[in-house]
């Protein structure tokens, strides 16, 4: 999911809660200008207990994406 605006971060949490309710357990990649590692690994990880990866804007622009399975539980 991409958080380009601060307002979209609230929707991310709602989406993660919906994933839990629907039994969705796939790894989630979060990135965008409005996100920080703290928001992803503290706030979002409390909502969605599955694998999650933060990608900074710089990483996204570089085209060098790490494996999303490196943080698998």
Q: What is the pTM of this model?
A: 0.73
- Using alpha carbons only, give the angle 45, 50, 55 rounded to the nearest 5 degrees: 60
Q: What is the mean pLDDT of residues 61-73?
A: 54
- Each residue's pLDDT tens digit, 18-66: 999 999 999 998 988 888 899 999 999 999 989 998 887 766 666 666 5
Q: Is residue 14 part of a domain?
A: yes
| pLDDT for 4 | 74
36 is a domain residue: yes
Q: What is the pLDDT of residue 43?
A: 93
Range of the domain at 19: 6-63
> Could you tell me if residue 20 is inside a domain?
yes
Q: Does residue 33 lie in a domain region?
A: yes
Residue 67 clears pLDDT 80, i.e. is over it: no
72 located within any domain: no
CA distances to 21, 23, 43 from 31, rounded to whole Å, are 23, 23, 14
Domain count, the chain: 1
Domain membership of residue 1 (yes or no) is: no
């Amino acid at each position: 999911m991409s958080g380009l605006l601060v307002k979209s971060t609230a929707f991310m949490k709602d989406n993660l809660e919906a994933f839990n309710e629907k039994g969705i357990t796939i790894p989630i990649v979060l990135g965008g200008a409005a996100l920080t590692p703290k928001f992803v690994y503290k706030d979002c990880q409390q909502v969605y207990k599955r694998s999650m990866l933060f990608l900074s804007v710089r990483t996204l622009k570089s085209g060098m994406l790490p494996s999303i399975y490196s943080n698998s539980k």
